[in-house]
Structure 1
Amino acid sequence: MIMERVLTLVLLCVLSAWANIPDVEKVSVIGRTETELTFQWKVENSSYSYKLATNVIGDIPINASEAEYLNYTVSPLSPGTNYSFTLYTVFENYTSKGFYFSNVTTPSNVNSVSVIDRKENQITLQWSKVNNSNDYGYELYWNEENSSIPISQTNTVEYNVTSLDAGTEYFFTLYTVFGHVMSSGYSFTNVTMPSNVQDVNVKLNDTEMILQWDVVSNTNNNTYTYTLENKDELTVNCTNQTAEGNEVTCHISDLTPATNYSFTLYTEFADLRSTGFKFNNITTLSDITEVTVNRSQTELTISWNKLNNNDIYNYTLKSQGEGSEKNFTGSAVGDVITHTYSSLTPGTEHSFTLFTVVNKAFSRGFSFKNVTTLYCTSFNWTVTNSSIEAKVNGSTYVKAQNSTGSVKNGTVNQNSLTLQGLYPGGSYNVSLFYYLESELLPQCTHHLTLDPYSVSHLRCEYHSGGYGLAVIWDTPYGVVDRVQVDVDRKSFNKSYSSEKQIRLEINGLQAAKKYTVTATSFSGSRRSQTVSVNCETDPAGVIAGVLVFFLLVIIICVAVFAWRRYGSAKRNKMTNPLVEPKVPNKNYKPLPLNKFPEHYQNMSRDENRGFSEEYEDLSSVGIEQSSIAALLPENKDKNRFSNVLAYDSSRVHLTTKDEGDSDYINANYMPGYGNASRQYIAAQGPLPSTVNDFWRMVWEKGSQAIVMLTNCIESGRVKCEQYWPLDYTPCLYGNLLVTVKSEDKLPNWTLREFNVKNKDTSETRTVKHFHFTAWPDHGVPAGTEELIQFRGLIRQHIESSFSAGLTIVHCSAGVGRTGTLIALDVLLQQLHKEKAVGIAAFVQEMRLSRPLMVQTESQYVFLHQCIMDSLQPKAGPKSEPLYENSDMIYVNAIALKEYDNQSQI
């Protein structure tokens, strides 16, 4: 019983002591990591110690502290774990009831975050659960935004971050959350996909594109780059990609025309591309828009430059009229492409279309038209003293211009041409045109002279004591070069005069006799209607006439008697009939220079009668010589004119290689100055069939100079075949390859230099070509100075060339202009070396080598004028030449008359 009371007393003491030890009122967590928890509580009595009981690591004794608060760290713990604790207050051997509390350690961060999807305004993130635990939650912070992420039931967590800005870098922090405790945070950055450009402006041509677009804007003002890709073709590069302000320019070159290009333009930022802006464009295929057409009567030569100077283009030229098509490969032709349509009809319109072609794609085509030119001389021209009419084709417009510059225009209606109100006797260049697509194309030009007006008030007066008449008339209106008065079957010419009345005195008539006097006006080769009047000479001379008559009767009787007495005996002694000598017996001697002016004046008197007589004396020189080779059947077609044949004695012989070759060419050796019997070759202008023979002669005779004194076409007639290349493209004539090395065109002549290569021997020679272009056929040049200068160029070349060979001189027939030039060259040499000149003697010598040398009397007079002008050079401005001026004096009148009589040559 006592024992029970003692135990009860002890128990009551213990319970009393336990009830007096207080628990801590509060435990705070002042530090937390993944492996530690630091607690803090207030110490009520420094005599107290503590014991911390855990559900993991057992009881932990904690010593008393003198401080007001006691801190204690529990470790090592596991991250993200909820721990339960009981904190006991201990005094001596007694403890409090215990303060119970729990807390968690900081959870671990995720190991990594992946981006599994990305768009312009959102990013989808993925990560593995921390410790594969479903107890953890997650919070994501970015740019002042945050979001709690629900717990996933799978091993990974996915979260779609939305409402983002395109092409922007974002800074993210992902926290692991356990309870209300967050991990230290896993930080990372990533970017949204940049936006596409909104639109692309394209400027393009055949081989280039210029792309322009606005810079893609963004909130952070990031600088984007851009990449252009071509879907179907090779890689295209933006050369010279530039950004100015808010605009980017991309220049693409070396593209193929007429090709569809499919592009994707990407915006790039931080190694990311936008979805791409897709667009396509087709490069153009341009047309040739500048075509040059060279026209002739039967040909149209079309040429154009390569488009953009690029070989990638091919071309197709179609002729609508012919239905033909011509193809050209750009890489196989030069920079200029040329095609000629031949065998066309003069004056016809032709339509063409020129296409550029690339990869079998055709451009829209450049269409154009043109028209062949005309032969003006092929039309029948009706000329009066005030009008010109003709039936023409291939023209729509006509213009006539005379020497004063006066112009008359007209239209061609239904192929009928009429020009009225023209100046009588005036010389007009009538030009035909074709109006085509707003352009007036010249077709041809024809020189026509109108009929002059007839003289008016034709009348006569007594003159020369009854043995002549003074014929008087009023000057007709218009152009009149001369008036021809015919009396008693004799013609008298009176040159133009500005006087109101013209008087022509005619001598040598019979007294007291009636005569019919006619007068005809001439303008060039045109003549007016003839006006006639009956006139009577003064009868005062009848007596003198009777005496003269009786005297003539006596003379005739004496002559008859002598003929009967002596003539028959003389005829009996002759074995052969007399033959008229062909060469005059005159011995022409050179004239000293100091006597030449007086000789010239004497020859010029009485309207150049002395020249006429002397030239007439030369007309029969050499005509008895044979021209057998020229008349052989195989050679007849090699002669341009039937009355200009090469004499056998002096003709040029060509070398013959094969049987059947002919050695004939219409050319003769001509004498030169002094004892040079062969210094020149006078030749006719080549025919189409004799061009090769002509070059063969140049080569075989070693000629280094060719002198040409005609134009290929004069007055609408072909006077000489063009025997050299049209351009700088070499041409082969027989076995000789001729190339134009240079060409220098001057107002009165053209100088050329040819390279002539013998294809058999490969030897090459240089030949100078002196071409005088201002010398009308059957006439004379407009002045002596130009021809004298031209001759000086030739003489300088001859004297400066070593072994120059024979100089070849030709015009059309090879006699008129050719003879005048050769004579001028020789006579000027004689003039300077002998101080004397023999014109008639040298012309006679030339005519013994080739017929008709110095063909016309006007050329003979002109030759004298050249010598006069060489003796008396004029200072200051050139005076109007004696020959062929606006006053139309004697020399030109002779040339016109001779042209009428010899126009067949």
Structure 2
Amino acid sequence: MMKLLSFKITSDHLLLCVFLNLLWGVAESNISSTATVTDSKATTTPSLTATSPLTTSPMTTSTMTTSTMTTSPMTTSTTTTLPTTKPPPDNVKNVTVLRQNVSSITLKWDKVNNISTYILQYNDSGSTKNENISATPQETSVEYVVSALTAGTKYVFTLITVFEGVNSTGHTFTAVTAPRDTEVFKSVGQSETSITLQWKKVDNILKYALKFNGVTREINVTATTGDNLMNHTISNLTSATEYNFTLFAEFENVRSSGVYHIAATVPENVKLVTVTQTVNSITLTWDKVKEISTYILRYGDSDLPVKGNSSKSHQNESVTYVVAPLTAGKKYNFTLITVFEGLNSTGHQFTAVTVPPMVSSVNVTERSVTSLTLKWENLEKNWNYLLQINDSYVTVTPDVPPNVVSHPVTHLKPGTEYPFRVITMFSGLNSTAYEDFTVTAIDCASVSWRVTNSTIQGTVEGIFSNATASNRQTHVSTGGNNVLFTGLYPGATYEVLLAYERNSKRFEQCRQNLTIFPPSLRAHCEYSEAGYSIMIAWNKPEGVWTEVEVNVTGQTHFANEGEQYIKISGFQPAKTYEVSVDSLSGTVRSYEPFVFLCSTDPRGVIAGAVVAVVLFVVLVCVAVFILFKRPGLMRKKPFIGASKLSDKNDKTISVAKFPDHFSQLSADDNRGFSQEYENLVPVGTEQTRKTAILPENKARNRFNNVLPYDWCRVRLTTSNSNVTSDYINASYMPGYNSNREYIATQGPLPSTVGDFWRMIWEQKAKRIVMVTNCVEGGRTKCEQYWPADNKPCLYGEVLVTTRSEQKELSWTLREFRVKHTNYSEERTVKHFHFTAWPDHGVPQGTKVLIQFRGLVRWHIEREGTGAPTVVHCSAGVGRTGTIIALDVLLQQLDKKRAVGINSFVHKMRLYRPYMVQTESQYIFLHHCIMDSLQPDENIYENADMIYVNATALRELR
């Protein structure tokens, strides 16, 4: 209980008492007081209100009432009465924070017993704030906005209910203002599946919320202390997609209003680009990337970068773009970039090339009988060329640094037109082909020209369109390949020119000077010097001649041009001599000599007769003496050795007489050939073959009756301990220059291939001539004894490698590298394989075999004849003998202008049995010689009427 006090205040102490009374009242009783002071001079009524409640107890409040009484003008009497205590109103039950922003907090609470007066206390920036709140009586709740606050700040509020001057104890709660939004929010990096965002921290707030694609995804991000800028990467996104981002700063679970940013992911690269090229453009086609229609294509080369941007929009699912103009035959580096919302993909890189240009021109710089040289300009070092000529292809790589390509083409046929195509190649692309043609030259010297004293005639193999013979006048041949010039001046030298013209092009095929036969002379003789000399005289013929040749008694005498007689001494009187007179133009003599008999003057005949009688008597006496002293000497037969020929078999036929000889043998269905061939059958058969028939050697023979003679068989060395036999079915054969120019052998068996290569190595052979196929008519004629490819193959102790193989229509040329395992030396062996000889009989014509023989002979002459040439077919006698005989006989024909076919076949059979095995082969040899003499005639063709002598022998070929 409070005490009720009563006191009197005088005028002198009025102010002090009032001040103390008031101070006391406030301090002690939490009393709101009003004091009225009356002065005799003036009346003052100060009003003091204490706004800070003073609580005396939780449940009571004291109220003091003061009464003022005026007793007189100078005195005032004041009486204070303390009433009974009131309880404080209830506190607000709950305060709801409706809204928060950076500068205000909106609060809401229900009225307390419909009280409308409230006081809100809080501290802001170090000062205490009191805000009186009055609500309307009609409202059941109070909504109040606390403004002018600091963003991102936590406030402690006390809400006091005020009723009739009495305050509640106060409801204390906290609330925060929303933080500010960041001032910087941007994307700093994008890829196909991620976006990196960057923002500036807000008042060192560490918590942020990131929403994107509306509210479908939200990420809470906690920043680190220290750095002012915050980076955050969002992964697992979809390429080429635009995202809407909202960034909230978060303070005490209250977020800022949020800042917005739009960013997109980088688009994917194009997966595949299809390239189509021309000479000056490249067409690119690719599938769209997620319906994106904007692309950037960058391209250029290392020498001069070319930057080009191009975009293309299409409604289709693919994009096609033509890059032009470009340089032909160049390589370009491209980068194709996909563009989406201003973002570029990393770029799809690829290369493409333009088609190389066609060669502008091709020149034939060298042209021979069997080779050509083509030349063209090369504009780019990285280009290659494909040369097609006569169905064969070769890749030509230019030399560096020359800008001109020069390529030789060899092994061609003489006088043949060759179309050719040159294609530029670059990085798998080919240019349009440059097409043209050329022709190989003709070897005029190889033509068998038949010359008379007024004509030149010859059959020329090869292409040409006109032929002329020029001296003072030009003569033209109109006979096609059968060239004929008539009306020529005897003994004159003509330049024969063959040319080929087509498509305004002219090719000189061959040029040769030919001197035709000088005029024939009509001569006679006259007496001179009593028969001891003669004088040969002749008339001056029409034509050109440089000398006159007179042959008599085996001596030759010459008269110069312009002379019309010659005097020759050294004869006997009353004798008749055969005189031959020829005219010569250079080295060419008249077609036939003029032959006549010349009788000397008979005045010295007596002396000559006496001498003759004396000589006759002497010869008779000598003969009688020999007959009586050595009668057996006259009966002894001459001996024919194994390798010697009798005089009878040395017979040769001159070129002039051979056509008649051939005609005689061909008469009556080749009766002469048959007789000659039958006489050859027993030749050499009496010679021994002991080694060949030994039991250990029988398996090494392909045929039991084709065995080498002991005296001329090839012997293998047996120095190696692994070798026990020196036997191989092979024989040395004579040639034109020696008796060991060839080795005739059988085609190797599977068991003798090693022996065959052993023989090649030991004999140092450089050439092998094969005139059979490995399989003919379904039967094996010869084991293949060389590698089927370029890989080395070991045969016994000899390692063989095929270095090259060139196939022609009728033969194949190979070159082998040969090495013995016991030596470091390597050798080259050429293989001439004639493939056009039929299983039975002879080739269909002589031409191809003569050409083949010429090829082999050319290599023999070039490489030397120091080592024998190995020749084989199946048995090593029929076709082998024919090709050896043809080679020797053509040499004989060329050097002696005569040929002895029968005598040479006879000689070969003394070295190996059955050489030139059949009569048809024997006849074929004669046809080869005949056609070599008469190349303009139809080439001999094998006829069905030519029979094979013995069926058993046929199997040996």
- Using the size of structure 1 for normalisation, the TM-score is 0.42
